[in-house]
A and B are shown apart, each in its own frame.
Chain A
Amino acid sequence: MGDITIALTREIVHLNRGIALAVNRGLNRDTNAQLVLLQQWTEGWLKKRGFRSLSVPPDSDKKKSKYISRLYHLVSHKTAATLSGLGWIGKNGLLINGAYGSRLSWATVLTDAPFGPDLPITKSECGECELCVKYCPSGAVQGHLWSMDNPLQELVVYEKCRSLKKERPIFDEKPNCGLCITICPYSRNGQK
């Protein structure tokens, strides 16, 4: 739960608490369904207590058909997660949680419920580690350290990342090669 006021535009600034939800990525189709279920529970809980809420679904970039989907791009799951103190954005451009690394899929519920926010994480904890830079097969990971003060820093060149998808038709689904997830020491929980 974080205070995400700084990341919001006028349309939704009244919903200034972001509840970041995460489940194990698992790389299967149920992941998003589980997140949506969690969002529905959260929304129900809030509604019962008279608070407004807005769910930003996990695959917000894929939902275009609805009017409400125009607001989805205004909120980033990673922003909600870092402001909730649940992790930082790694060199691989993914959210890294101290315990689960990048193995998490995220969804966000915005609300106007006046919860006390958690302490945000504003700096990368990646340090000198460059495993994802070294192992990225398309050279997309640039190796920059993320910081909340410099949100426009390009961490990953997504063009390059996508190019790999074209070369290897086997990655036709969303899980690209995923090496930057599996190689991350945080994702492996210390295991080699």
Chain B
Amino acid sequence: MADEAKKKEIFEKLRNGVIQYDEDACKEGAQEALDAGIDPNEAIFDGLVSGMEEVGRLFEAQEYFVPEILMCADALYAGLDILKPHCKQMDIGVKGAVVIGTVEGDVHDIGKNLVKMMFDVAGFTVYDLGRDVPLDQFVEEQLRTDSELVCLSAMMTTSMVGMPKVIEKIKAKNPDCLIMIGGAPTSKDLAEKFGADGYAEDASNALKEAIKMVSFLKKLRDEKAAANK
């Protein structure tokens, strides 16, 4: 097992590789992590993803612009491509299916892809609809896959306004399905106002929230089943 100092050094390398959009550093760091026997899941979350969170902060502070964000995402994926095949499925106690996509009118899907990646790693079955997804497609896909969770993402206020419409439609067809929203213009208050069941501030919170929501749903269903007996 790798000692703590070495581990920290590698995580730092991955983190800085993402922040400084240095693909080669991310690849190197990822390989070093594997060679040193570090848990790939940890390397992803404490290294790469923590770097991307800092990038998000730099973007908000207007130190980074769109080109930097995209290059950082490329660096993150360069490291992820190496680590991902070695990932053990995380045991989070629940298994569930998720429909995820960026709502109509919005082509910004970096955040959505980050969340998707975290769900993947955590062992969720993910149905990714991509970006600029017509509102009805969310409803159809949820019905087709009977997913426990639908995640809606938006980067712009203009596309965010589609969210309550999707939520209403899904809830009408399937009240048992839970909906989470996320993205730059959204907030906890807005999520409540839109009728969503959850809100994710960033990618790692999205996973925590999702686990909470799916476990809650499972419990609810079990109780229902018990009551019907």
Residues of B within 8 A of A54 (CB): 67
Residues of B within 8 A of A15 (CB): 67
Interface size class of B (residues with CB under 8 A): 10 to 19
Q: State A12–B77 Cα separation when bound (angstroms).
A: 22
Q: State A12–B66 Cα separation when bound (angstroms).
A: 7
- Digit string of B16-33 for contact with A (CB within 8 Å is 1, else 0)? 000000000000000000
Q: Which residues 156-186 of B have a CB within 8 angstroms of A?
A: none
- Answer yes or no: A166 CB below 8 A from chain B CBs: no
Contact A71 B74 (CB under 8 A): no
Chain B at the A interface: SS class: helix
Contact B74 A11 (CB under 8 A): no
- Digit string of B90-113 for contact with A (CB within 8 Å is 1, else 0)? 000000000000000000001000
Question: Shortest beta-carbon distance, B177 to chain A, in Å?
Answer: 30
Q: State A70–B67 Cα separation when bound (angstroms).
A: 10
Contact A68 B65 (CB under 8 A): no
Residues of A within 8 A of B110 (CB): 67
- Answer yes or no: A123 CB below 8 A from chain B CBs: no
Q: Which residues 53-107 of B have a CB within 8 angstroms of A?
A: 65-68, 70-71, 73-74, 77
Contact B74 A14 (CB under 8 A): no
Q: State A14–B67 Cα separation when bound (angstroms).
A: 10
Q: Tell me the nearest residue of chain B to A66, going by C-beta.
A: B74
Q: State A14–B77 Cα separation when bound (angstroms).
A: 26
Contact A71 B73 (CB under 8 A): no
Contact A11 B66 (CB under 8 A): yes
Q: State A15–B68 Cα separation when bound (angstroms).
A: 12
Contact B65 A67 (CB under 8 A): no
Q: State A11–B110 Cα separation when bound (angstroms).
A: 15
Contact B70 A12 (CB under 8 A): no
Q: Which residues 57-92 of A have a CB within 8 angstroms of B?
A: 66-68, 70-71
Max count, chain B CB within 10 A of own CB: residue among A12, A54, A68, A70: A68
Residues of B within 8 A of A66 (CB): 70, 74
- Digit string of A110-130 for contact with B (CB within 8 Å is 1, else 0)? 000000000000000000000
Q: State A12–B70 Cα separation when bound (angstroms).
A: 12
Contact B65 A71 (CB under 8 A): no
Q: State A71–B110 Cα separation when bound (angstroms).
A: 14
Q: Tell me the nearest residue of chain A to B68, going by C-beta.
A: A52
Question: Shortest beta-carbon distance, A113 to chain B, in Å?
Answer: 15
Max count, chain A CB within 10 A of own CB: residue among B65, B67, B73, B74: B67
Q: State A71–B74 Cα separation when bound (angstroms).
A: 13
Residues of B within 8 A of A67 (CB): 70-71, 73-74, 77, 110
Question: Shortest beta-carbon distance, B154 to chain A, in Å?
Answer: 17
Q: State A12–B64 Cα separation when bound (angstroms).
A: 11
Q: State A153–B128 Cα separation when bound (angstroms).
A: 39
Q: B-contacting residues of A (Cβ < 8 Å)?
A: 11-12, 14-15, 52, 54, 66-68, 70-71
A-B contact pairs, 13 of them (CB 8 A): A12-B65, A12-B66, A12-B67, A52-B65, A52-B68, A54-B67, A67-B70, A67-B71, A67-B73, A67-B74, A67-B77, A67-B110, A68-B67
For the A-B complex with A11-B65, A71-B66, A71-B67 known, give 18 more contacts whose Cβ atoms are closer than 8 Å: A11-B66, A11-B67, A12-B65, A12-B67, A14-B65, A15-B67, A52-B65, A52-B67, A52-B68, A66-B70, A67-B71, A67-B73, A67-B74, A67-B77, A68-B67, A68-B70, A68-B71, A70-B70
Closest 7 CB pairs of A and B: A11-B66, A67-B70, A68-B70, A67-B73, A54-B67, A66-B74, A67-B74
